[in-house]
Amino acid sequence: MEKSKTRWYENLNAEKWNGEYPSGSLFAYIKETSLQYRDHAALVFEGKKYTYQQLLDGAQATAAALLANGVKKGDTVSIVSPNTPQAVFMFYAVNRIGAIANMIHPLLSANEIQQMIEQTESKVVLTLDMIYPKFAKYVWNLPVAPKMVLARIADALPLFKRPVYNAKNKLDLKINPAHDVVYWNDFLASGKNTPLPSDDGAADDTAVILYSGGTSGNPKGVLLSNFNCNAQAAHMYDVGGIEDTLGKRSLVVMPLFHGFGLIVCLHGMLSLGMQLYLVPKYDFNACSKLIIKKKLNCVYGVPGLFEALLRSQYIEGADLSFMDLLVSGGDKLPEKLQLRMDKALQNGGSRARLREAYGQTECVAGCAMSPHFDMRIGSAGIAYPDVLLKIVKNGTQEEVPDGEDGELCISGPIVMKGYYKNEAETAKALQRHADGRIWLHTGDSFAKDAEGYLYFRQRNSRLIICGGYNVYATQIEEVIRSCPAVAQCCVVGKKDRIYGEKIVAFIVLNSKQADQKTVSDSIMTCCKENLSAYSLPHELIFKEELPVTKMGKTDYISLQHEVNKGKE
């Protein structure tokens, strides 16, 4: 697909942008790039480089293995993995044969992972050997038990690094005999003689399931089509503002089980011929070192990543002229952080500035970004190509005048197909308005000025964003309330310069005589057994009673103010 010669911001007031979008699958889109840039590096993982040709070959070999193991068009394959080459190969392989990639966070609890695999009736599950113990005690109780493919980090490393890695990460895996388990290399070998059919993936075919809290705070599977994802990828050239993208080095620390990481940082950047540095562990300090040492040109991340970069020893006095594009998403970018980062960039000789973006999984990842030519501090920017934004009165479809607060609604090629097996929530989120268009109701409050710039106000759902991960207060509260000693619980977010927010739980006990230390230990044990690692409370605060609103509901806003005194 040829890139448009007209930038998106030149058509801000146009009803229709003149750009074009890929008409086939994600695999077909990336194949076009791979054939054009065969010998250029596509992925770099712990020092090992994979060319675009190797990326294409790896995805094709994995696709053949899927076919050999009974996966067909329309089937679901679950990928439970951090950012690794095997996860990338599997993602494109699934798409190559017209199956659906079910992207699952590996830090979820075993019960949550198993529910997502069962619900989607996944035929194959890819995970790492070090994650397998989460599955070890589980016996698949399905008509057709999924095959489990275990990948090893060591297999993706340069040869000289493997002995050191294996020595530091000794695993004594006990494979459950009820599981159909195969290791990655053996899995690939099983498809060696399996022919691949032509890639007939259609634009409207469901390509991936990603998980989001939507407007209610309860995780739901978001169905995204090939067209949704390719449209988002196609936007990356226009909104990025970089002319010569081939060979530019880009960071991929945002996880592949999130639309930001999967479609923007991976698929979008690969479509531009960039060289992607895959980072499997969410370590901001290590990322800061990598950015400076490898002179990464493009950095997409959450605000905490840029805060860590500013605090790191590596940026002090460093030449930053190599930095072309820095984008913060996943949470509101603090204005002070943006100004500090811009000053550091300027002092380091870079013409780039830290730009803010906004989006939801329901619109793949992003729908608006600050344009590089006219950035406005405090604004999430303007709409992407062909994306229409409007602000409506909460709970209605009635558009409010420019400058007034209300719920943000989105229409355009990036809006999801719906929620997986959840018609009720889909009907709430996707509504046909009087103009005949389908609009996504985000549940987030914004104001929009006459020039189309968005200004974030608040999230209407009780969503806490901790280190870039979406955490839902109601889920944590349910787990804590299940503890016998607990009478009441309210969870809020406490502002933090690194994580964005930390999780604080206010608790009322059944008995005033209860030993708080003993109760705290039992609550945290219960949380560790039933919640994701990133959803664990950072702090427990015991109270005799919780404040209530005039309607008799727990006043979580006052508790949020209490923990954020001096931070607001």
Average pLDDT across the chain, whole number: 90
The whole-number pLDDT of residue 136 equals 87
pLDDT at 30 over 70: yes
Distances in Å between the alpha carbon of 304 and those of 76, 130, 283, 465, 537? 34, 27, 10, 11, 18
Least confidently predicted of 232-236, 294-298, 342-346, 549-553? 549-553
185 burial via Cβ count (<10 Å: 0-12, 13-18, 19+): exposed
What average pLDDT does the segment 239-254 reach?
92
CB neighbours of 275 closer than 8 A, spacing ≥ 6? Answer: 40, 41, 42, 43, 44, 247, 248, 249, 250
Please report the pLDDT score of residue 14 as a whole number.
45
SS (H, E, C) 262-327: HHHHHHHHHCCCCEEEECCCCCHHHHHHHHHHCCCCEEEECHHHHHHHHHCCCCCCCCCCCCCEEE
pLDDT attached to residue 465: 87
Helix (H/G/I), strand (E/B), else coil: 92 = helix
Tell which wins on pLDDT, 32 or 552: 32
306 close to 326: Cβ distance less than 8 angstroms: yes
Listed in order, strand segments (DSSP E) in 54-190 are 76-80, 100-104, 124-128, 147-151, 180-183
Contacts of 165 by beta carbon, 8 Å cutoff, 6+ apart: 153, 154, 157
Q: What is the pTM of this model?
A: 0.86
Distances, alpha carbon 262 to alpha carbons 80, 190, 329, 377, in Å: 13, 27, 14, 27
Between 200 and 134, the more confident residue is 134
Lowest-pLDDT range of 21-35, 180-194, 469-483: 469-483
Q: Tell me which long-range contacts 545-548 makes (C-beta under 8 A, separation of at least 24).
A: 545/488, 545/508, 546/488, 546/490, 546/506, 546/508
Q: Could you read off the pLDDT of 532-543 as tens digits, one per residue?
A: 889 999 999 999
pLDDT digits (tens, 9 = 90+) for 483-518: 999 988 999 999 998 888 999 999 999 888 889 999
Other CB atoms within a 10 A radius of the CB of residue 559 amount to 20
223-227, 363-367, 466-470, range with the lowest pLDDT: 466-470
> Per-residue pLDDT for 87 more than 50?
yes
pLDDT of residue 460: 64
**Is residue 157 predicted with pLDDT exceeding 60?**
yes
| Banded pLDDT at 520 (limits 50, 70, 90) | very high
For residue 67, pLDDT over 70 is answered with yes
Q: Which domains does the chain have, with CATH numbers?
A: 54-202 (3.40.50.980), 360-413+423-459 (2.30.38.10), 464-563 (3.30.300.30)
In this structure, the strands spanning 76-80 and 48-51 are unpaired
